[in-house]
Structure 1
Amino acid sequence: MKIITSLVNETISENTAVTVGKFDGIHKGHELLTEKLRGQKEKGLASCVLTFDVSPRIRLKKDMTKLLITNAERAHILEEEKIDYLAQCSFEKEIMQLEPEEFIRLLVENFHMKYLVCGTDFSFGRMGRGNAKMLEELSKTYGFTLEVVEKLQKDHRDISSTYVREEIAAGNIEKGNELLGYEYFVWGEIVHGYHLGSKMGMPTINLIPPEDKLLPKNGVYVTKIEIEHHIYHGVTNVGVKPTVTGENQMGIETHILDFDQDVYEKDARVVFLSHIRDEKKFDSVEELFAQMERDKKTALSYFNH
C-alpha cells in the first residue's frame, strides 16, 4: 500500500476507486466501503481511501474526542485489507477552504478518480456544504461513477465510530468488537513499572498507550498480547493502580499467563476480549494479589472454553 500525504501536491497515475472519511476505528460500516472499493479491481481501478492525519473536527477544535485508532494503526489495518493507496492528508487551510466542486475536481484530476463510494450522510467541501445529492450532479459533470450505500445497523442503530466509542469506553468489549468486526487493541512500548508483580510471583508488563488513544474504562480485562508476532494470553488492568501508588497515573498493566521473558523496550499489542471487573482499591497489596489470582483463573477459564 502506498501512503500519500497531500491531495493538492501529489498525484496517482492510475485510475482509482475512492472513498473519503475519518475512518476512525475501521468498523463494519467502513469495511463495507472498502469492500466496494476492492470490488472495482476487476474494472481496472486501484482502491484509494482518503482521510486526514487529524480529524477535521479536532483541527477546528470542535471535538477533542479520543481516537479508536491512531494513524499508524489505520494504515496497518487498511494494508491488511489490501487497499492500494491511503491518502492520509493534512487538513490545512488550503483544504478547509475548498468548495465542494473544487474538492471533487481535485480527486478527479490528481487521483484519476473514476468511482466514488460514500454513505448517505457524507458531507464534503467548505463548511461541509457538499452532500450525496450534490455528488449525483458532480458525477455527471466529471464523469465518475457514484455509489451511495445505506448505513449498516446493529440493534436499530447506525454502526458508527461514536457507537463503537461508547461501547469501548463503557467497558462493553464484546459489543465494541462486534461493531468493529475485529478485536479492539492498544499498541505501545513496554516500559519498566514498579516491579511489584515480580516480587509477588506475578510479573507484569506496562504499556504506554498513545496520548490520543481511547482506552476502555478502568478495570480488568481478558486480553491477548502480541509481541514480535507471537501471541500470548493475559489479564490486563486499565487504570491508575490505586492500591500500589495512591496516585492518578493512567496505565495499561498486563500479566501474561505462563510467560517469563524479558521484553522491555519492545512494542506490544494488547487485544481486549472481555471485561472481568471494575477497578477497585484494596486495603493491602496482599488482598490485591489474592484478587489478581482470581482474575487469572477467570482468564484461564475464558481461554479454555
Structure 2
Amino acid sequence: MTTVTDAGEELSIAIGHFDGVHKGHQDVIRRAVEAAGNQQRKSAVLTFHPHPKDVLSHGDQYVSCLTPLDAKLERFAELGVDYTFVMKFDQDFANVSPERFVSDVLVPLGVRHAVIGFDFHFGHRGAGDAGMLTSLGSELNITTEVVEPLLLNGKKVSSTYVREALGEGDAELAKYLLGRPYEVNGTVVHGHARGRTIGFPTANIGLTAPYVTPRLGVYAVFAEVGGVTYPAVMNHGMKPTFKDGETAPVMEVHLFDFSGDLYDQTMTVRFHTFLRAERKFDSIDELIAQIGRDRDEARDRLIQADEAALSSTKRPV
C-alpha cells in the first residue's frame, strides 16, 4: 500500500474518517474496491486525521479512538485497498468549501468514482452532502455511489454504537459490529508487582494511543506478545482493594501458561467477554479466591471461543 498514485491512474475511492473500520465502513470500502475492479481502476481510501470533531469541538475534544491511524491503515490494506490518502484535518481544511473539496482534492487525485456513506458530509460547516457530491462530481466526470446504512435490530451500525457497546462492557456486541474483537495496543510497564506476590503475576499495559476504553471490570481476553497469542484474564480498573490512590484506570493482564519477563514488550489485547464489574474486597484472601474463579471462567470462555472458531472453519462432509 502506498499513498501516491502513478501518473495517469484513475481511482475508485471511499471517503470518510472510518474510526473503527466497522462493518458499515467495510461495506463502503468494499464497494470502492469492487467498483475499481469492474472499471479497471485502482481502489483508494481518503481519510482524515485527526478526527474532524477534535478540531471543531472547541474544547470538547473527541480525542479517544477505536482505531489509531496505523491500525486503520492496516484494516484498509486487509480490505484490498491499493492506495490510502490521509488528509490533515486542520482549521484551514475545515474552511474549504464543498466545491473546492471536489475540484482541489478529488480531481487532482484522479478520482473517477467516489463511494460514501449515506450520512457523509464535507466542506465548510458540513455543507456538502451526498446530493451535492453527486451534482458537483457529474460536472467533473466523477460518479458518486451512496451506500445505505447497515442496520442491527433497526439501529445503524456506527462508531457511536461500538463506543456504546464498549461503555456497557458488551465485548461480544462490539465484536459483531466491528467484524473482529475490539483490541488495544500498549507497552508492558512496571506496576506495583502485587500480582506476583499473590500468585497471579500481571502485565500492566501502558496504552500507545488514546483508545476508547471499555467499562471497568474483569474480562476474558486474548493477549498477543512476541507474535504468540495467549488466553488471559484482565482487570481494567482502579484496584480499590489495595487503595493505591490510582487516578486513572489500569489494565492488568494475567496470561495463562506463561512465564518470563514481559517488561517493555508490545502487547495487543483483544476483548472477548465481560466477566464481572470491579469491586472492593474485604481481604486479600477473598480477592485471591475471586481471581482464581475469574481465571477459571475466563479459561472456559476462551476455550469455547477457540472451539467455535475451529468448527466454523470445518467444511461440511
TM-score band, normalised by the shorter chain? over 0.9
Alignment partners' CA distance in 2, 1:12 and 1:20 = 20
Percent of aligned positions with the same letter in both sequences?
A: 34
Other-structure match for 1:258: 257
Give, in whole Å, the separation in 2 of the partners of 1:12 and 1:141.
24
Q: Which amino acid aligns with 2:216?
A: N
Displacement of 1:139 after TM fit? 2.2
Aligned partners of 1:143, 1:88: CA distance in 2, in Å?
A: 23
- C-alpha displacement at 1:95, in angstroms? 1.4
Q: CA deviation at 1:106?
A: 2.3
Post-superposition shift, 1:68?
1.2
Q: Is the 8 A contact 1:206 1:253 kept in 2?
A: yes
What is the aligned partner in structure 1 of residue 302 from structure 2?
A: 303
1:64 to 61, 77, 81: 61
What aligned pairs does 1:159-178 form with structure 2 within 5 A after superposition? 159-178=157-176
Q: For residue 45 of structure 1, report the CA deviation from its aligned partner.
A: 1.8
Q: Which residue of 1 is the match for residue 119 of structure 2?
A: 121
1:16 equivalent in alignment to 2:5: no
Distance in 1 between the 2:289 and 2:41 partners? 58
CA contact (8 A) 2:134 2:143 kept: no
1:219–1:267 Cα change, 3 Å: same
**What SS class does the counterpart of residue 35 from structure 1 fall into?**
helix
Task: Tell me how far 1:134 sits from its aligned partner.
Answer: 1.1
Are the aligned partners of 1:12 and 1:110 in contact in 2 as well (CA < 8 Å)?
no
**Aligned mates of 1:246, 1:95 — CA distance in 2:** 43
Cα RMSD, aligned residues only: 1.6
Aligned equivalents of 1:97 and 1:182: distance in 2? 36
| 3-state SS of 2:248 partner | coil
1:27 to 22, 30, 44: 22
Q: How does 1:211-250 map to 2 (within 5 A)?
A: 212-244=210-242, 245-250=244-249
In the alignment, does 2:49 pair up with 1:53? yes
Query: What is the distance in 2 between the residues matched to 1:285 and 1:82?
Result: 51
Partner of 1:8: none
Q: Which stretch shows the higher mean deviation, 24-33 or 87-96?
A: 87-96
Residue segments in structure 2 that go unaligned for 5+ positions in a row? 305-317
> Deviating runs (4+, > 4 A) in structure 1?
none
Q: Can you give the 5+ residue segments of structure 1 that lack an aligned partner in the other structure? A: 5-10
Q: Is the 8 A contact 1:107 1:113 kept in 2?
A: no
Tell me: CA distance 1:33–1:272, structure 2 relative to 1, closer, same or farther (3 Å): same
What is the one-letter code of the residue matched to 2:285? Answer: E
Instruction: Provide the secondary structure at the position in 2 that maps to 1:47.
Output: strand
1:40 and 1:46 in contact (8 A); partners too? no
SS at match of 1:2: coil
Q: Is 2:71 aligned against 1:73?
A: yes
1:93 aligns with 2:91: yes
Would you say the 8 A contact 2:113–2:142 is kept in 1?
Answer: yes
Moved more, 264-273 or 238-247: 238-247
What residue identity is the alignment partner of 1:155? N
Equivalents in 2 of 1:266, 1:210: separation in Å? 12
For 1:200, give the aligned amino acid: I
2: CA distance, partners of 1:127 / 1:249: 35
CA contact (8 A) 2:172 2:272 kept: yes
Q: CA deviation at 1:211?
A: 5.3
Distance in 2 between residues matched to 1:243 and 1:108, nearest whole Å: 56
Q: Contact between 2:187 and 2:208, CA under 8 Å: does it hold in 1?
A: no
2:284 maps to which residue? 285
Residue 155 (structure 1) aligns with: 153
**Alignment deviations for residues 128-164 of structure 1 (CA, whole Å, 9 cap, x no partner):** 1111111221121010121111100001011111111
TM value normalised by structure 1: 0.93
Which range moved further: 32-41 or 147-156? 32-41
Out of 41-50 and 222-231, give the one that drifted further.
Answer: 41-50
- 1:241 and 1:249 in contact (8 A); partners too: no
Moved more, 147-156 or 45-54: 45-54
Q: Letter of the aligned partner of 2:61 in structure 1? A: M
